[in-house]
Amino acid sequence: MDLDSMKKAVAISALDYIEVGDVIGVGTGSTANYFIDALAGIKGKIEGAVASSDSSAARLASHGITVLDLNDCDDLPVYIDGADEVDRHLRLTKGGGGALTREKIVAEASRRFICVVDESKEVDVLGGFPLPVEVIPMARSLVGRRLAALGGMPALRNNFRTDNGNFIIDISNLSITDPIELETRLNNIPGVVSNGIFAHRPADILLVGTSTGVRRRET
């Protein structure tokens, strides 16, 4: 089975976590897109969805699913999203699609974060995938210097602006041995909006698409 088929299978399996009348949080990326397409088949069951990006909002709307503003919602019962990497404590790196800040907001607003990944995303130590940092434009160069001092290799994502109008700096060559500490440290650099480490608020349930079916882990 190829990775795309695993993503699709695991995305479909997340439908089991949705209850009648829910307003659900929906993530961003190719796995989240499979989830949105599957959600269309049960759209009558939910009241609506809060999207973590403009592209997911557009995809939800194209299926006739009501897209709600987070400011008009209370805490959400569930948030379903993919990840770039996940470790054994269900700490994640995210933001390959550049939606990390809104993803972090919707995850924080949700009682249960169900992360859906294919088996290639499971790692022993986070950091193999370049870590995105969203940066206010005027601080781009300052933050780049501060990130370089951490020992990684920061690179501005070419021709990219986030849905919030900011830049992304991707840091390669990091070995994230203490994700909570690094998440805090990066957030404390003035000009950083957020970073792609999800360790303070990890996933609650991990669903992994494998060649032999969907496997479940939880914290």
Q: Which residues are catalytic?
A: 103
Cross-strand partners of 118:
209
The footprint of ligand 5RP on this chain (CB under 6 A) covers a number of residues equal to: 17
105, with CB counted inside 10 A (0-12, 13-18, 19+), is middle
What is the smallest separation between the CB atom of 131 and ligand 5RP, expressed in angstroms? Answer: 11
- Whichever of 95 and 191 has its CB closer to ligand 5RP, that residue is 95
Show the 3-state SS of 65-119: CCECCHHHCCCEEEEEECCCEECCCCCEECCCCCCHHHHHHHHHCEEEEEEEEEH
Chain centroid offset of residue 67 CA = 18
- Whichever of 108 and 142 has its CB closer to ligand 5RP, that residue is 108
Per-position x/- string for 74-113, each x denoting binding to ligand 5RP as judged by CB under 6 A, each - no binding = -------xxxx---------xxxxxxx--x----------
Q: Which residues contact 194 (CB under 8 A, 6 or more apart)?
A: 100, 101, 104, 133, 134, 187
What is the smallest separation between the CB atom of 80 and ligand 5RP, expressed in angstroms? Answer: 10
- Binding piece for ligand 5RP, criterion CB under 6 A, among 28-36, 38-46, 157-165, 179-187: 28-36
Which residues, numbered 133-172, are part of the site for ligand 5RP (CB under 6 A)? Answer: none
By CB under 6 A, name the binding residues for ligand 5RP. Answer: 27-31, 81-84, 94-100, 103
